[in-house]
Amino acid sequence: MAPNDKTMEFLNSFLLSVVALDIRIANFFFELRNTELLSFFTWVTLLGEWQVVVGFAVIISLLLWLWPRRAYIIPLWVSIVGGELFTFLVKLVLHRPRPELAYYLENGFSFPSGHATIAVAFYGFLIYIFFKEAKNFGQKASVIFGGLIIILTIGLSRLYLGVHYLSDIGGGYLMGLLGLVIGIVLLKLCFTPKKEIGAQPKL
């Protein structure tokens, strides 16, 4: 068997395994559905809606301007827009349908999850900001723990509501991480004076 054939066979096998796991996880969460948790996760998933995130981002930008920590503002928006742009392009290429067990109808394609993307790109950047500004280890640990809980819970809400597969969430987290890295790199290269690299960015 040619190397290319072996590679294609491995990729096909891997994709089939991912799809099988996605279906098992979707069925698992479908069996767990109840009225209380549906109501809870319906509220949680709003934290990943673009309208809510844009509203939060505007408020955070104003607070950063008044703080002042203005160097964070443009990289924050680059992180959000960058992550969502990656997600939009991948959705256009793959055209993966939504799960059939969805609790409610969602527009657009399934992979990757836009909510998971924006959770990492936006809330991940907030983790970075507050971690940098924290005064001691306890505050830093609380920022990381609280931020990760929000990010993971948003992803879990999409699974519980059945509007995404597990691999959609993983793909969304990856797209959000790409946007986050771009935002942080931009902050380091363009908005932090060289003599203050590693210090708190201020303008």
Q: Is 95 left (phi over 0), alpha (psi -120 to 50) or beta?
A: left
**The length of the chain, given as a count of residues:** 203
Give the domain ranges of the chain.
Answer: 3-196
Distance CA 30, CA 152 (A): 19
Structure tokens at 177: 């991480």
| Span 124-155, pLDDT tens digits | 999 999 999 888 999 999 999 999 999 999 99
| Span 22-63, pLDDT tens digits | 999 999 999 999 999 999 999 999 999 999 999 999 999 999
Instruction: Kindly report whether the global pTM for this prediction surpasses the value 0.95.
Output: no
